[in-house]
């Protein structure tokens, strides 16, 4: 039996069609896109092609609304610090939900150290942002509010349109980290009223090393990486063209295949949830219905998520996650699971399964059997 990869929220494999497309750039149009000779102009065409495909994926007003960066972390930093610093005359307050990724929370905390007021908005037990609390903290001084489209650890999809209306009633800009949602569920920045939106290549079957930030026309922000003035002066540095070209093609494929792929993965996800919840003392984390179609997340009493991950990998060659790959270096429980109200010992028993293109319905019984055996084995060994 080959491996079964169920950790698509950490990274997606590069789609072979993307690789083939982006390779053409390396072979033929390897110029610097800022050069005016034919190889430079050829390279520039690849960037503009990618910009157009990404604009289409999220229904941006125009292609120039898209700025390329090195990835999600940089896009989040640019969105948050770039707008807060550029609009400091309007106020020094920022807000974010308690379940944002560290690449949102840490730039916010950096602003806080530099004299900004940071408001953290709680979520309910399913991970939905507390709208009453949000309404209560927003003021005319709140220049940037960051709420993710969907959470990568618990799969919950936030009511972004409603949030956008609240933010625009009192504050200035809404930034949305769409890493877990982009390319998975339809996103329409115009209909949702989003000012800034973060997307990443490596969460959409594109190569690592590229990200994008959508910036609504009229939104004012300053560069956090000054230099040669590429990307409208907002993000200097020679473009990572292989990754950008690949990201564009990845966005095109995701848009074209989204509906069909969602129907297919949703069935597998529902079956996995039904079967895994039959295990004693197992619980779904996140929202039961308002969740990503490829996302199934659980917690099990009396065992550790790390042991589940290692056992599933070694004994069954099935790769799962315990939460965010970025926080796996610390043994602290996930801040997302604590924010939905779990106790430390409960948060430690988490397992996240995120499906992707390689997964098939026939794998469900194999996965379920492996999870059942793993939980049984670990509970036998558990002193709790
Ligand atoms: N936001 C979210 C929701 C994420 O899951 C991640 C990690 N995949 C990031 C931001 C940061 O991504 P990267 O480490 O690729 O910059």
Q: Hey, which of 179, 325, 327 would you mutate to test ligand 1's pocket, going by the most ligand atoms within 8 Å of its Cβ?
A: 179
How far is it between the farthest Cα atoms of the chain? 69
- Atom 7, ligand 1: which residue's CA is nearest? 10
Q: Are 4-12+259-381 and 16-253 the same fold in CATH?
A: no
Given this model, what pLDDT does residue 234 score? 96
> Which parts of the chain sit beneath pLDDT 70?
1, 324-331, 384
Q: 359 alpha carbon to ligand 1 midpoint, in Å?
A: 22
The alpha carbon of 109 is separated from its chain's Cα centroid by a whole number of angstroms, namely 20
Given this model, what pLDDT does residue 30 score? 83
Q: Which CATH class is domain 4-12+259-381?
A: alpha beta
Answer whether CATH 3.40.640.10 is correct for domain 16-253.
yes
pLDDT digits (tens, 9 = 90+) for 253-298: 999 999 999 999 999 999 999 999 999 999 999 999 999 999 999 9
| CA torsion, ordered 360, 56, 18, 207, to nearest 10 deg | -90
Q: Three-class SS of residue 119?
A: strand
The atom of ligand 1 lying closest to the CA of 72 is: 16
> Whole-prediction pTM value?
0.96
Kindly give, in sequence order, each residue whose CB lies less than 8 Å from that of residue 272, ignoring residues fewer than 6 positions away.
Answer: 296, 353, 364, 367, 368
CB atoms within 10 A of CB 110: 15
Pairwise CA distance, residues 318 & 335, whole Å = 25
Kindly give the pairing relationship between strand 173-177 and strand 142-146. Answer: parallel
Domain locations in the chain as residue ranges: 4-12+259-381, 16-253
Q: 328 to each of 322, 334, 350, how far by Cα in Å?
A: 8, 9, 12
In our burial notation (b when 16+ CB lie closer than 10 A, e otherwise), range 215-242 reads bbeebebbbbbeeeebbeebbeeebbbb
Q: Three-class SS of residue 146?
A: strand
CB 140 within 8 A of CB 91: yes
Q: 361 to each of 200, 266, 271, 297, 306, how far by Cα in Å?
A: 27, 10, 9, 18, 26
Q: 217 alpha carbon to ligand 1 midpoint, in Å?
A: 25
**Per-residue DSSP letters for 177-246?**
E-TTTTTTS---HHHHT-SEEEEEGGGTTS-TT-EEEEE-TT-----SS-SS-TGGGTS-S---HHHHHH
pLDDT digits (tens, 9 = 90+) for 218-249: 999 999 999 999 999 999 999 999 999 999 99
Instruction: Give the residue among 144, 136, 288 at the shortest CA–CA distance from 216.
Output: 144
CB 292 within 8 A of CB 262: no
Is residue 65 among the annotated active site residues?
Answer: no
């Amino acid at each position: 039996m080959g491996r079964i990869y169920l950790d698509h929220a950490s990274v997606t494999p590069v789609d072979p069609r993307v690789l083939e497309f982006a390779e053409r750039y390396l072979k033929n149009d390897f110029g610097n896109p800022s050069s005016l000779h034919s190889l430079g102009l050829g390279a520039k065409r690849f960037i503009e092609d990618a910009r157009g495909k990404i604009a289409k994926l999220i229904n941006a007003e125009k292609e120039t609304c898209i700025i390329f960066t090195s990835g999600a972390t940089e896009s989040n930093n640019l969105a948050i610090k770039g707008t807060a610093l550029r609009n400091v005359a309007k106020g020094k307050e920022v807000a974010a939900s308690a379940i944002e990724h560290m690449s949102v929370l840490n730039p916010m905390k950096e602003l806080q150290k530099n004299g900004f007021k940071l408001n953290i908005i709680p979520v309910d037990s399913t991970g939905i942002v507390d709208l009453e609390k949000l309404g209560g903290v927003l003021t005319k001084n709140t220049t940037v509010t960051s709420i993710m489209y969907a959470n990568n650890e618990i799969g919950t999809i936030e009511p972004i349109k409603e949030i956008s209306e609240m933010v625009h009633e009192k504050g200035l800009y809404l930034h949305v980290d769409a890493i877990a949602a982009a390319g998975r569920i339809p996103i329409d920045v115009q209909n949702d009223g989003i000012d800034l939106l973060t997307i990443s290549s490596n969460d959409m079957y594109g190569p690592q090393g590229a990200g994008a930030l959508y910036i609504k026309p009229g939104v004012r922000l300053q560069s956090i990486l000054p230099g040669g003035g590429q990307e409208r002066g907002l993000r200097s540095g020679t473009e990572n063209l292989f990754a950008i070209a690949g990201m564009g093609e990845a966005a095109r494929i995701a848009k074209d295949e989204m509906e069909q792929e969602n129907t297919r993965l949703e069935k597998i996800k529902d079956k996995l949830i039904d079967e895994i919840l039959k295990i004693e003392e197992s619980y779904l984390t996140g929202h039961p219905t308002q969740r990503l179609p490829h996302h199934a997340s659980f917690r099990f009493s009396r065992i550790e998520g790390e042991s589940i991950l290692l056992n599933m990998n070694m004994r069954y060659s099935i790769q799962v996650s315990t939460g965010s790959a970025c926080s796996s270096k610390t043994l602290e429980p996930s801040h997302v699971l604590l924010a939905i109200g779990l106790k430390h010992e409960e948060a430690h028993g988490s397992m996240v399964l995120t499906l992707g293109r390689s997964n098939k319905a026939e794998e469900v019984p194999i996965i379920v059997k492996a999870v059942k055996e793993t939980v049984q084995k670990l509970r036998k060994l558990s002193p709790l």
